[in-house]
Structure 1
Amino acid sequence: MPQSDTTGSQVIRVAGLNKVYSTGTQALKDINFTATAGETVVLLGANGSGKSTLQKCFNRLVEPTSGTVKVLDTDVTSANKQQLKTLRRQVGMVHQRINLVRELSVLTNVVHGALGRAPSPRNWLGATAKPEQRDEAMEALHRVGLAHTAGKRAEQLSGGQQQRVAIARMLMQRPKIVLADEPVAALDPHAGRAVMDMLWEITEEQNLTLVCTLHQLELARAYGSRIVALREGHLDIDTHISQLADRQLEGLYTSNSTEQVVLEGAGR
């Protein structure tokens, strides 16, 4: 599959970004952030810290209140509908909620990843898809180790397998940037590690920029090269994982019991 050839260039540039919701809540406060091609960034923060809002501003699934966002040289904050549509084809997404069509075959779900660039009605189903899309979908499934499940319904797979199918579907977009929002939060630890391994291997192979939100500090330490942490809408930490000390994370998480368990499990 095609690989990005923009190594070292800035592919995400955020300046003075603010987001105020209609309720009056300010989710983001003067955020400045850049990411380069091929870089792996882990976004950390408590619930309500703004990390998911920030990620959604990258492709304007959330409308910023002020500031600028440029992604792959597109000014996202001023882009029209066609420009946004073009950009979103180049930004793959992996969600906590896997969002496969459970009643359809695994192959069909993966072929759907190509609809943005190949919107033919033939590609609505794996059985009728054009040969080139079927071959590419099978290649993506082979890459995630699930080619043998192509004919099964998505609902017949385990949660970890479904998330790997979602990664294969994302590959069908031929993205340059991958946004992963809590991709293993709904999985058991073993399945979660397998998905994280797969996601990191693929993005490295294809030199894709990856921005991944996580709650689990131990996963951030295991997989992240750069840690960006938000606290109450502010960018609180931006450093390489090797320079990150536990004391820097004091106060980052709330007293929420679930999040406290995560921190305790990380050996704090």
Structure 2
Amino acid sequence: MPVRDAAARTPVIEVSRLSKRFPNGTQALTDINLRVNTGETVVLLGANGSGKSTLQKCLTKLVEPSDGSVRVLDTEITTAGTREITALRREVGVVFQRINLVRELSVLTNVIHGSLGRVGGMRNWFAMSARKDQRDEAMESLDRVGLADVAQRRAEELSGGQQQRVAIARMLMQQPQVVLADEPVAALDPRAGRSVMDLLWEITEERGLTLLCTLHQLELARAYGHRVIALRDGAVEMDTVMSEVADEQLQGLYTTEEREEFPSRGIFEGAA
């Protein structure tokens, strides 16, 4: 069931009959059709191996689609050349499960790296040599995620939740239009995960960004998802508003073993 007001907004992601078959014969995606509109926050849900990460990677051509059409910010991914893809990736911020900070460098330098795609130049490889306006912008991004006071510390000295906040600040420095988050809290404890999810949702809403967030955890999907697109075995199982989905439907996306891994709802309620 589509979201009722979806047609009223401009699509920034349009996927039509997308399929991906890897050289080893694995059929990761089959006939995927979806549209995400400007300013939407969408949860992409499914079990491990359902095709979530492959679908996200197809959106920026990190994975080459086998068939179909993928259009992001008016760029047709399947026919775009290297220069077009590079330009597109500047407009698409990514928050990874593996945080991918340069652990030995300062927090401030890591955040400044987010501007490399739009500013470039060797000066921005390190905070001490970056232009003052770049340092100021990076400090503003760190302040937004509540970490301005640790700007000079090495990234490896921070907790996992703090590191993911730095990664969000780095994404803000990129000034993207679209954000792809790939299980951004899978490696965090429930309290830190809830805090990072709150921050990510707040920032995308206040800046009018479009967010497609891949999740494995049913409880987080239920807590944060307004619209949910669920995959099963590489195909779209449902595309609807979360309030219209019964728990049994969501649980049906997973095997018995996977369902037993999920914490009870109470763990996430009231977490900061």
TM-score range, shorter chain: over 0.9
TM-score (norm 2): 0.93
Change (3 A) 1:190 1:250: closer
User: Which residue does 1:4 correspond to in 2?
Assistant: none
User: Which residue does 2:105 correspond to in 1?
Assistant: 104
Output the CA distance in 1 between the equivalents of 2:252 and 2:225.
20
1:16-58 CA distance string (max 9 Å, x none): 0000011111110100000001101101111111111111111
Output the CA distance in 2 between the equivalents of 1:260 and 1:127.
49
SS in 1 for 2:256: coil
Q: What does residue range 1-268 of structure 1 map to in structure 2 within 5 Å?
A: 8-257=9-258, 259-262=259-262, 265-266=264-265
Output the CA distance in 2 between the equivalents of 1:25 and 1:249.
25
Output the CA distance in 1 between the equivalents of 2:186 and 2:235.
24
Output the CA distance in 2 between the equivalents of 1:161 and 1:143.
13
1:192-219 CA distance string (max 9 Å, x none): 0110000000000001010011111111
Q: Is contact 1:40-1:224 (8 Å) kept?
A: yes
C-alpha displacement of 1:254? 2.2
SS in 1 for 2:193: helix
1:191-246 CA distance string (max 9 Å, x none): 00110000000000001010011111111111111011000011001100111111
SS in 1 for 2:198: helix
Change (3 A) 1:25 1:72: same
Q: Number of residues paired by the alignment? A: 259
SS in 2 for 1:175: coil
Q: Is contact 1:46-1:252 (8 Å) kept?
A: yes
Output the CA distance in 1 between the equivalents of 2:70 and 2:36.
12
Output the CA distance in 1 between the equivalents of 2:36 and 2:260.
29
Q: Is contact 1:11-1:71 (8 Å) kept?
A: yes
Letter of the 1:121 partner, please give it: M
Output the CA distance in 2 between the equivalents of 1:233 and 1:216.
18
Output the CA distance in 1 between the equivalents of 2:236 and 2:56.
13
SS in 2 for 1:103: coil
Change (3 A) 1:253 1:73: same
Q: Is contact 2:10-2:38 (8 Å) kept?
A: yes
SS in 1 for 2:54: helix
TM-score (norm 1): 0.94
Q: Is contact 2:218-2:250 (8 Å) kept?
A: no
Structure 2 unmatched runs, 5+: 1-7, 267-272
C-alpha displacement of 1:266? 4.3
State the superposition RMSD in angstroms.
1.3
SS in 1 for 2:129: coil
SS in 2 for 1:162: helix
Letter of the 1:206 partner, please give it: R
Structure 1 segments of 4+ aligned residues over 6 angstroms from their partners: none
Letter of the 2:145 partner, please give it: V
1:111-156 CA distance string (max 9 Å, x none): 0000001111110001110111111100000000000111000011
Output the CA distance in 1 between the equivalents of 2:250 and 2:206.
31
C-alpha displacement of 1:251? 3.0
